[in-house]
Structure 1
Amino acid sequence: STKFLSERELTVLRPLLEELKAPYTTWGGCEGAERAVLVFLPDWLEAEKLKDSPANPVRLLRASYTGEKLSHRDFLGALMGLGIERETVGDLIIRDGSCDIIVLREVLPYVLDNLSSAGRAGLRLEVIDETEPEEAQFKLIKDTVASLRLDAVVSAGYQISREKAAQAVRTGKVSLNGLECLKPDRELSEGDRITLRGLGRIRLSAVKGLSRKGRIMIEVMRLV
C-alpha cells in the first residue's frame, strides 16, 4: 500500500492503474475521505473486506478537548510538530470538542505517545473503530438539471446562474476530482467532486433518474 495520496494524485494515477489491470482499492478511513491510501489487493482479499482485515493500513483516533473551538490548522500543525510526514496523515474531521484523526497504522503508537496539545488546548486521545463520513458537515441540495454537464451541476450545487457557472469553469476557477477542468460541457458521474475557488466543495452524491418534465434529478452535498 502507499502512503496517503491527495485527490489530485489519485485522479492522475487511476488511468495508469486501469492499464496495469492489477486489483486495487483506495481507503481513507471513512466513506468520502479526501485523502486515501492506495492498496493493491492480494488474491485472498476482497476490497469490501479491507476495512476489517489485518491488511487495513489505516487507523483512527479521537482527540478530545475543552475550551475554544480548534481548527483544522491547529490539529495539522500539532501533528506536523511531532516530526511525522504529511503523507502519514489522512483527513482530519473537526467537531465541537474533538477531532477525528486518520493516520497510517505505523505512526499510530507514536502519535498516541506524543500528541498532547493543539493550539492552546490539552488533548485526550483514544483509538476509535470508525468515524462519521465528512458528509456529516455537508448540506444536501436536491435539484434537477437538463444534463450532467459540469456547468449545470456547478450551477445547481452552488446555486448560481448557468452563465456564471460556465464562466467560472472557462476561467480556471473550477477543479474536478482535484484537477482543473476548463470544459463546461464535461459530463459528470455520480461521486465526482468539484471545487469552485472561493465557494468551497461539492460532490455529486446521487443521480436519481428523470423528473416528469424529463429533467435529471440530482443530489449534491455541499460543505458548510
Structure 2
Amino acid sequence: MTLYDHFRPEERPFIDQVLTWKENAELRHQDKMTDFLDPRQQDIVQSLIGQQDDVLVKMWGGATGTERSRAYIHPSYLVLDPDEWPLTLLEASYPVKFIQLSHRDVLGALMGSGLRREKFGDMTVDDGRIQLIVASESADYVRMNVLSAGRATIDFQERSLDHFHLPEEKWIEAAGTISSLRLDTVLAQIYRVSRSKAADAVERGLVKVNWRQTEQSAFVVREGDHLSVRGWGRSRLLMIEGTTKKEKIRARWAKKG
C-alpha cells in the first residue's frame, strides 16, 4: 500500500503539492503560507505533516471557529505571530429594510469578479452587514472590483479582525448502522430520507462530497468525508466503527443542526 491509497485519486495533485511544501521546509528551510484551504484540505495537510520535530504546520482563518483557513508550513525555528498572518477583514453594509441579500448573492459577486475561491475564507451575510475574510494580497482587488451584489451597492472597508462575528454553529452527533457506504445509502441514513430521495438529490447535482459536486449515487463515502446537500445542510462521516454480525457497518456521523 502506498501513501496515495489512503486518499482519493482526485486528491493526488494536492497531496503532491503538500509533500513539496513539506520537503521545502525540511530540506531547504523555506516557509509557505497557503491560500485558504477547505476543511478536507486541512485534514490532508495535518495528516501528511502533523507536528514533527523539524517541520510544523499551523492553521488560522482569522477567528476562532472559521471553516476555511490558511496553513503556515515552516521549519520549527520560525515563528509567525497571529497578527502577522496575511488576513484582512472587509465589511460592507446594505439597507436590509429594502434589499434582501443571501450568502449565495455575495459569493456570486466575488466569483464573478474573477477572484479565485482560494483567496477568501469565511463570510457572513446577516442583518444588513457583509463580513468577509480575504487574503491580504487580494483585499484591494476585492474593494475595487466587487461593487455590487444582487440589487445592493457594496463599498467594502477594512476592519480589524477582532470585529468578525461568526454565528455559532451547532453540530449533532449520532450513530447507527448502514448497509453500505454508497453515497445514497449514507445520505439516506444521516438525513432520514428514503434511499430513492437521496439518490435523486445526488443525480440532480445537489450533493457535494469534500466540496466537490458528485452525481454518482454509487460513489463510496469514506471515514472523514464532508457531505452537503442543498436544502438539507451539511454533515460529516466521523468514524467507521466496524461491522455487525449481519455485516452492517457501524458508523458515527455529525450533522449541522
Say whether the fold is shared (TM-score over 0.5).
yes
The equivalent residue for 1:210 is: none
2:254 and 2:153 mapped to 1: Cα distance? 40
Count residues with an aligned counterpart.
201
Q: Identity, % of aligned pairs?
A: 30
Q: 1:43 aligns with which of 68, 76, 80?
A: 76
The equivalent residue for 1:127 is: 159
Structure showing the higher helix proportion among its residues: 2
Q: 1:182 aligns with which of 207, 219, 225?
A: 219
Q: CA deviation at 1:86?
A: 4.2
The equivalent residue for 1:61 is: 90
CA gap 1:15/1:28 in 2 versus in 1, 3 angstroms: closer
The equivalent residue for 1:211 is: none
**What CA deviation, in whole Å up to 9, does each residue of 1:102-130 have, x standing for no partner?**
20012224544665443332335341424
**What is the identity, as a one-letter code, of the residue corresponding to 2:94?**
Y
The equivalent residue for 1:24 is: 57
Q: 8 Å contact 1:80–1:86 — kept in the other structure?
A: yes
Q: 1:71 aligns with which of 91, 102, 112?
A: 102
2:57 and 2:138 mapped to 1: Cα distance? 23
Q: 8 Å contact 1:169–1:182 — kept in the other structure?
A: no
* SS of equivalent residue, structure 1 residue 75: helix
The equivalent residue for 2:13 is: none
**What is the identity, as a one-letter code, of the residue corresponding to 1:183?**
V
- 1:1-224 alignment runs, 5 A limit: 1-6=33-38, 10=41, 14=45, 17-18=48-49, 22-30=55-63, 31-33=65-67, 35-44=68-77, 52-54=82-84, 56-66=85-95, 67-80=98-111, 84-112=115-143, 115-123=146-154, 125-130=157-162, 131-133=164-166, 136=169, 140-141=171-172, 143-146=174-177, 154-161=187-194, 163=195, 175-178=208-211, 182-183=219-220, 186=222, 188-189=223-224, 192-196=225-229, 198-204=230-236, 219-222=254-257
Q: CA deviation at 1:43?
A: 2.2
* SS of equivalent residue, structure 1 residue 108: helix
1:109 and 1:128 mapped to 2: Cα distance? 15
Q: CA deviation at 1:78?
A: 3.9
Q: Could you say which structure has the greater relative contact order, defined with CA pairs below 8 angstroms and 6 or more residues apart?
A: 1
Q: CA deviation at 1:93?
A: 2.1
**What CA deviation, in whole Å up to 9, does each residue of 1:116-168 have, x standing for no partner?**
443332335341424344654xx644544247x8578634532224x558868
Q: CA deviation at 1:39?
A: 2.0
Q: 8 Å contact 2:94–2:154 — kept in the other structure?
A: yes
Superposed CA RMSD in Å reads 4.6
1:206 and 1:80 mapped to 2: Cα distance? 31
Q: 8 Å contact 1:204–1:218 — kept in the other structure?
A: yes
* SS of equivalent residue, structure 2 residue 34: coil
Q: CA deviation at 1:99?
A: 1.7
Q: 8 Å contact 2:49–2:57 — kept in the other structure?
A: no
1:76 and 1:199 mapped to 2: Cα distance? 17
Structure 2, unaligned stretches of length 5 or more?
A: 1-32, 240-249
**What is the identity, as a one-letter code, of the residue corresponding to 1:61?**
L
